[in-house]
């Protein structure tokens, strides 16, 4: 639980810091919006990937626990 809180806090801080840097960078609004959208899509894909991997690991662990319980 503590590790999850750390990762969540770190991720939020990283995202906010990145967003502030992008928003205050000397670029046109169109470029900033495009970059934000691209980054958001990459972040969503990474989150989906991580969630799927975690789900698979949980199923594997559950199967292991059930197998050891039946012995």
Q: Return averaged pLDDT per consecutive 10 residues of the chain, 71 residues in all.
A: 81 87 77 87 93 93 89 71
Burial tier of 26 (Cβ tally within 10 Å: 0-12, 13-18, 19+): exposed
Q: What is the pLDDT of residue 60?
A: 94
Q: To 5 degrees, how large is the angle CA 43–CA 49–CA 51?
A: 100
pTM score? 0.53
pLDDT at 6: 82
């Amino acid at each position: 639980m503590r590790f999850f809180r750390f990762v969540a806090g770190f991720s939020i801080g990283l995202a906010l810091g990145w967003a502030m840097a992008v928003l205050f960078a000397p670029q046109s609004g169109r470029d900033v919006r495009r970059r934000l959208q691209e980054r958001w899509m990459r972040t969503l894909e990474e989150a989906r990937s991580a969630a799927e991997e975690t789900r698979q690991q949980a199923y594997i662990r559950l199967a292991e626990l059930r197998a050891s319980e039946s012995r």
